Amino acid sequence: MTDRELLRHIERSPGQKAGYKQLVREFSLGGGRERRLLLEHLARLTAAGHLTKVDKEQWAIAKAAAARDNLIAGRLDLHRDGFGFVRPNEGQKVSGEDIFIPPPEIHGAMQGDQVLVELAPARNDGRGDNRKLGRVVRVLTRRNATVVGVFHYATSERAPGNYIRPFDDRMGHPVFIPFDAELPEAAATPHRVLGKEAVAARAYDPDNLEGLVMDVEITHWPTPHTPARGVIREILGYEDDFGVDVEMVIRKHHLPHAFPDNVLEEARAVAHLDAETVAARRDFRALPIVTIDGETARDFDDAVLVELDEETGHWRLQVHIADVAEYVRPDTALDLEARLRGNSVYFPDRAIPMLPQELSTDICSLRPDEDRLVLSCLMNIDPSGNVVDYEVTEGVIRSARRMTYTQVHKILDGDEAVRAEFAPLVPAFERMKQLAEILHHKRDRRGSIDFDLPEPIIEFDEFGAMKSVTRSERNWAHRLIEEFMLSANESVASWIENLSVPSLYRIHEKPEAKRVVEFEEVAASFGYSLGVGNLPVKTFHTRGERRDRHRNGRSDGRSSDRNARGHEVAGDIAITPKMYQKLTAKISGKPEERIVAYLMLRSLKQAKYSERNEGHFALAAPCYTHFTSPIRRYPDLIIHRIVKALLGAGVEGHGVLSPGEPHAKQAKPHKEPALRISAVPKAPAYEVISETDLQLIAGESSANERRAADAERELVEWKKLKFMRDRVGEDFHAMILSATKYGLFVELDDLFVEGLVPIQSLGALDNDYYTWRENTREIIGERWGRKFRIGQRVRVILERIDAQQKRLQFGILLEEEEQAQQSAKGRKGKAKKSATAEAEPSAKKAARKGLGKATNRNPKKGRRKGPVPDFAINVAGPNAKKKSPGTKRTSKPSRASRRSMQQEAAQSIPYPRKKKSKKKK
């Protein structure tokens, strides 16, 4: 039974739904293994959005379920304040539009759960708030089988038990543990890497568990009236112990981190080299092929060789990739575990591999001076960088040397000592750099976007403690490997597509028009532009709104409701990768390069896997896939299986890159791809993996990739917080990354650390009131006009560390000149005020107090304002000094200004005082 057969069977069932027992009976399933496979099929189809779980043991076709009772299935994402959003699964009628769930309508659902939502009636109150609302009807699939958090004792005997406070702040409610619950045994496991403190904590005192980090399995799910309950499965240690932070992040994101025994046994059984297989393959062992990886890498999955034909000027590029598919066969325990993990996860001080070490660092790793099986892509490249032809074949290599990026960079940089050490290989690396430059220029000509944004690297001392946070360096040693891998990926993708074989592709869709226009507005403040026009907007009215307008309309047929503005939908916009590329070249080397490049990256969509080839926007490539990292990515392993199956079926491995215009020039890349051989609708000549299975694998792999990226990012940010804990009170130079209604998000120049400057704290600078202007994306002072905007350089002080929100809080510091000017102005103002008070005659003093005839001032004249301070002149504008003291405000005063004006007016009105009655003694 396949996923496709199961879907067709449910579609033919009454109401397009079926129950678990019904399916077991109709498919005549036997023991536990067959029924377990059925549940796996159902879970996979539900996660992909093809099925919807409508009851405890009943599933329905997603479209049929959504059509009834206005029900939508999707994933729930909660906020720490209690509300949430449901992102509909693919194939739903409101796909792409998040549904807002108010706190009272969560109904016991937890973060990440698959839920069934009932949409509320659409509303249009005339203010443009057309947000979709809904309520959770039923939880379809629970995501959090376990929850990691900090243990606390109950504060009352009437409480349902002790509890843990979840590490994930989106889970706002605790998980209770019964008072009589058993504690786990303190036994170390082989997959754990912990410090001495955490190992000591595992020998816990059962009478003192306060503050320990625990992993709890939920036994009773929460309801609207009862909290969640669970049992303790593992005690990790205290939060600040070395190594515990990694374990907490692993369990929070539910990363599989321990290989089952059957997977390890299978890995040991297949981890050997078969002599017959080696003899049947193309032999590359006599060639000086090398691997180039990082210093700490242990899994070497790619090796390269570059040769130059002096007569023709053509380059011969060989890219050899570890043949993981030879050892990980479909539907085995190894395959199921690799698919569950999706990819390897790399933390600063450890890694969680996709495959056991017997494969990832041994038989599949291209270690030097050892025979290894590979899948090879041999490319013939002309002097302009165009791939004339290529060949995909199975082979065997023996790596000549294991090189690092640092060593290759020193060789290319002219380091005499390193060049002497690797003298026989120096000409080969110089040829590699020449070819990499040619390939880079070719991609540049077609419009490929190359963002060179640095990434943080956390350095540790010899004791494992965090020492510093630095920026990663990207040199030509990294670039040449990237260029070679890109060429191999494009060639393999083109070969498979030209054969019309269902496959996986790495796609990058065209950016949304709204995001592009938002970026244009911010970039304009720096003097840059992509060169696109205004955002086209279409307005439409629903049938109900048109009926209401007609009912409330006047005799002349025009509506009397001015608020009925309709629904606005953004139209398409002409945007190409070449526009991004030109802007990237303009900002190169400028002070604002990092912030503008960061904003450009945010305007683009996230790349993902798909069974449909829709091109790669950022690479300006009409066809792209992932082929070069099968040890650490499951989609690459799928591509290897397709390649091996085609070669095994006798398909010729030679080919040319598919013709067609770059992805950016396609009018409608998602619906009408450029004309290529594979674009002609016809039945596939070969089908190694069905399109339905490929769709499921693509969705799972994309989700696993995002999960791993979130876990890696969160751990790095957490370690930054720990590193900055001892630096509270220090000042730093920083740059403003964004300005929001909450305040300023800044990044420190030297430490690659980000934090927030709350908007409430800005008033301490100059006793001003600051507000956020949404139209200009600035924070501006109401009195002096001081502005804070994206890209501005500031000096900040670390005030505190918000442990609850895991965020650094900074405060803005004035520069020394501004501080001196502000203090001088303050002293001058005080001195002038005291001198005036001494010289004033008593009549004027009386007049100022409101006594005598001196009170007859002209009430229409406003009070004179003092001069604009020097520190605010630059940000207030060149006309700040010329402003007349009595000039009326043309703009609408803020709420704070109106309040102060009302208070002043109230004080000036001479209300009669009430006479006090004297009591008789």
- In tens, the pLDDT along 291-302 reads 999 888 889 999
- Give me the pLDDT at residue 91, please: 61
Q: Across 341-493, where does the E strand assignment appear?
A: 345-346, 351-352, 371-381, 387-398, 401-404, 456-460, 466-471
Domain 728-818 fold is OB fold (Dihydrolipoamide Acetyltransferase, E2P) (2.40.50)
pTM: 0.77
- Give me the pLDDT at residue 906, please: 40
In this prediction, residues 222-237 reach a mean pLDDT of 89
Residue positions counted in the chain: 921
Residues 783-799: tens digit of each pLDDT: 888 999 888 899 999 99
In this prediction, residues 36-58 reach a mean pLDDT of 79
In this prediction, residues 341-370 reach a mean pLDDT of 93
- For residue 815, which phi and psi values (nearest 5 degrees)? -65, 165
- Give me the pLDDT at residue 20, please: 83
- Give me the pLDDT at residue 569, please: 58
Which of 263-272, 561-570, 673-682 is least confident?
A: 673-682
Contact between 235 and 204 under an 8 Å Cβ cutoff? The reply is yes
- Topology alike, domains 1-68 and 146-252: no
Distance CA 299, CA 805 (A): 36
Contact between 142 and 128 under an 8 Å Cβ cutoff? The reply is no
β-bridge mates for residue 346, sequence order: 351
Instruction: Give the three-state DSSP class for 146.
Output: strand
- Show Cβ contacts of residue 226 under 8 Å, excluding neighbours closer than 6 positions: 220
Q: How confident is the model at residue 384 (pLDDT cuts 50, 70, 90)?
A: very high
- Give me the pLDDT at residue 243, please: 84
- Give me the pLDDT at residue 389, please: 92
Q: Which two tokens stand for residue 410?
A: 């020193």
Which of 342, 341, 360, 352 lies closest to 608, judged by CA?
342
pLDDT surpassing 60 at residue 97? yes
Distance CA 651, CA 830 (A): 91
Contact between 298 and 365 under an 8 Å Cβ cutoff? The reply is yes
Which of 220, 209, 164 lies closest to 186, judged by CA?
209
In this prediction, residues 509-522 reach a mean pLDDT of 87
Which of 564, 666, 562, 760 lies closest to 124, judged by CA?
564
Instruction: Give the three-state DSSP class for 388.
Output: strand
- Give me the pLDDT at residue 821, please: 57
Instruction: Give the three-state DSSP class for 62.
Output: helix
Domain 146-252 fold is OB fold (Dihydrolipoamide Acetyltransferase, E2P) (2.40.50)
- Give me the pLDDT at residue 535, please: 60
- Show Cβ contacts of residue 771 under 8 Å, excluding neighbours closer than 6 positions: 759, 779, 780, 782, 894
pLDDT surpassing 70 at residue 682? no
Contact between 623 and 355 under an 8 Å Cβ cutoff? The reply is no
Which of 490, 476, 503, 493 lies closest to 446, judged by CA?
490
Which of 158-172, 389-403, 554-568 is least confident?
A: 554-568
pLDDT surpassing 50 at residue 266? yes
pLDDT surpassing 50 at residue 77? yes
Contact between 734 and 810 under an 8 Å Cβ cutoff? The reply is yes
What is the H or E stretch that residue 743 is in? strand 743-748
- Give me the pLDDT at residue 348, please: 85
- Give me the pLDDT at residue 350, please: 85
Q: How many helices (H) and strands (E) does the chain have?
A: 24, 37
Percent composition of the chain: helix, strand, coil (DSSP 3-state, to 5): 35, 25, 40
Distances (CA, A) of 318 to 297, 306, 403: 22, 6, 17
Query: Which of 68-77, 206-215, 654-663 is predicted most confidently?
Result: 206-215
- Give me the pLDDT at residue 560, please: 46
| 174 alpha carbon, distance to own chain's centre | 27
Distance CA 566, CA 569 (A): 10
CB crowding 792-811: b at 16 or more within 10 Å, else e: bebebebbebeeeeeebbbb
- Give me the pLDDT at residue 370, please: 95
Between 60 and 733, residue with greater pLDDT? 733
Q: Please state at what angle helix 333-341 crosses helix 261-270, rounded to 10 degrees.
A: 120
In this prediction, residues 70-98 reach a mean pLDDT of 79
pLDDT surpassing 50 at residue 406? yes
Between 138 and 842, residue with greater pLDDT? 138
Distance CA 72, CA 134 (A): 9
Contacts within 8 Å (CB) and 24+ apart, 410-413: 412/475, 412/476, 412/477
Which of 632, 719, 619, 601 lies closest to 294, judged by CA?
632
* Residue-range domain boundaries for the chain: 1-68, 146-252, 261-445+457-501+623-655, 728-818
Distance CA 88, CA 74 (A): 4
In this prediction, residues 455-465 reach a mean pLDDT of 74
CATH class, range 1-68:
mainly alpha
DSSP per-residue codes, 557-624? S--S-TT---EEEE------HHHHHHHHHHHTTSTTHHHHHHHHHHHSPPPEEESS---BTTTTBSS-
- Give me the pLDDT at residue 198, please: 52
Q: Please state at what angle helix 691-724 crosses helix 32-47, rounded to 10 degrees.
A: 70
